[in-house]
A and B are shown apart, each in its own frame.
Chain A
Amino acid sequence: MTSPQPRVGVMRFPGACDDRDALWALAALDAEALFVWHMERELPDLDAIVLPGGFSYGDYLRCGAIARFAPAMQAVADFAAQGGLVLGICNGFQILCEAGLLPGVLRRNESLTFVCRDVPLVVERDDTAFTTRCHNGQRLVIPVKHGEGNWYADDALYEELEARRQVVLRYAEPVNGSRNDVAGVINEGGNVMGLMPHPEHAVDPLLGSADGALLLSSLVDAARERALAAV
């Protein structure tokens, strides 16, 4: 057998709403996808984990501020520290920023209104574990649906991130007031990524776009490589 199914977890927080879409999309892209409950203190044997979108803990205080203290998040931090692949989508991105696993913070949209539409994105890096199926400069169309996607980093932090090429995706047009139209960033180690658009809602042309599958398939590929390397 040359291509075993990698095991990809999908975290379930109270108030998550895209967990089932994420699970479905990963399974459709040939991963063995399984839910991980937020109260677990240890993760099962996984090759990658996805923190899906939603409104964990009602978005009280700040988005992701309370979810980051869920018992399973300590396990995710340990998994990430060991090089494990972690993808945060929308609320998952907010949680990873609050947890300090990704740089910056997601603030209220500049317009103060919820944005829900397909948006064009530009791939800034095709050499990450999450974008190998894309190419630099490629335009992707993937939906967003958020009230707090306005990513921010101060000047000093932003310059560092640019110097280290940690911006992976940008909006091709203004969407939410995000600094320099940043839509997705990666950590320094290259194993933790977050983005506001929802690739799990764009894995079939029937849904208007299958561009999200390029990102999730890249993740599944990278997870499979890790699974093979571990054998």
Chain B
Amino acid sequence: MLVRPKQGILDPQGQAVESSLRQLGFSVASARVGRVVDLEVAADDPDTARLEVERMCEQLLTNPLIESYEIELPGATH
């Protein structure tokens, strides 16, 4: 799952990355820094896995005041 600073929330880390990239001569309009959490979840089907990960996001993995999240399911692996 991907965690991002919410739209409109100041992201000082992203700003620092953005200005460093500019100093290196790259042309960037903006940079936002988030976080990736790779999870292996035992579930019968993708929908169940998604629901379970959503619960994890809401209870622990994100703070909804400042962060949004996206869940990507690469599919069953066994």
Contact = CB atoms under 8 A, between A and B. Distances in A.
Interface in B40-70: 60-61, 63, 65-66
Contact of B12 (A108, A154, A157): A108
Contacts of B9: 152
A112 B60 contact: no
Contact of B65 (A111, A112, A154, A177): A154
B66 A107 contact: yes
Contacts, number: 32
Contact of A177 (B12, B13, B60, B63): B12
A112 B13 contact: yes
A202 B61 CA distance: 35
A125 interface: no
Contacts of A157: 65
The size class of the interface chain A forms with chain B is 20 to 34
A145 interface: no
A231 interface: no
Nearest to A108: B12
A98 to B, nearest CB: 7
B13 A65 contact: no
A157 B9 CA distance: 14
Contacts of A150: 12
A109 B60 contact: no
Given A105-B66, A107-B66, A61 B60 contact: yes
A80 interface: no
Interface string A56-78: 00000110011001000000000
* Chain A interface mostly: loop
Residue in A69, A107, A109, A110 whose Cβ sees the most chain B Cβ within 10 Å: A107
B73 interface: no
B12 A152 contact: no
B69 to A, nearest CB: 13
A157 B66 CA distance: 13
Contacts of B63: 62, 65, 98, 105
A65 B63 CA distance: 9
Nearest to A105: B65
Interface string B5-25: 000011011001000000000
Contact of B61 (A61, A107, A110): A61
22 contacts: A61-B61, A62-B63, A65-B60, A65-B63, A69-B60, A98-B63, A104-B65, A105-B63, A105-B65, A107-B12, A107-B66, A108-B13, A111-B12, A112-B13, A112-B16, A150-B12, A152-B9, A152-B65, A152-B66, A154-B65, A157-B65, A177-B10
Nearest 10 pairs of A and B residues by beta carbon: A105-B65, A110-B12, A112-B12, A105-B63, A112-B16, A105-B66, A108-B12, A62-B63, A107-B66, A108-B13
Interface of B: 9-10, 12-13, 16, 60-61, 63, 65-66
